Amino acid sequence: MKRYGIRIRMPEDATFRMPHLLGPDWEACRWYETEEAREKAFAETTADLSNYRKGDRPAQIVERIDRDA
C-alpha cells in the first residue's frame, strides 16, 4: 500500500467551492510509494506554474499526509 500522500483542497473563499461547481468538501489525494517521491511531487505541485501570470498562484491548499502503517 502506498503510504505517503499529498492532499489538495481549496481555500474557504475559493470560487470553485460553490455548490454548483466542485462544492465545499472537494479534495484530491495522491499517494506515493516513498517519501522521496512524495517530496518531489510536492515540490512540483507547489512550484510556480508557467501558464500563470508572474506572481499569480493557484487557489489551493497543498499538504503532506501519511497513512498509518
Cβ pair 10, 26 in contact under 8 A? yes
* CA angle at 63 for the pair 1 and 68, rounded to the nearest 5°: 30
Section 48-68 average pLDDT:
79
Q: What is the pLDDT of residue 45?
A: 86
Residue positions counted in the chain: 69
Does this model's pTM top 0.95? My answer is: no
Residues of the chain by 3-state class (helix, strand, coil), percent to 5: 20, 25, 50
Give pLDDT tens digits for 26-56: 999 999 999 999 999 999 888 766 676 776 6
Q: Cell numbers for 61, please give them.
A: 491548499
Mean pLDDT estimate for the chain:
88
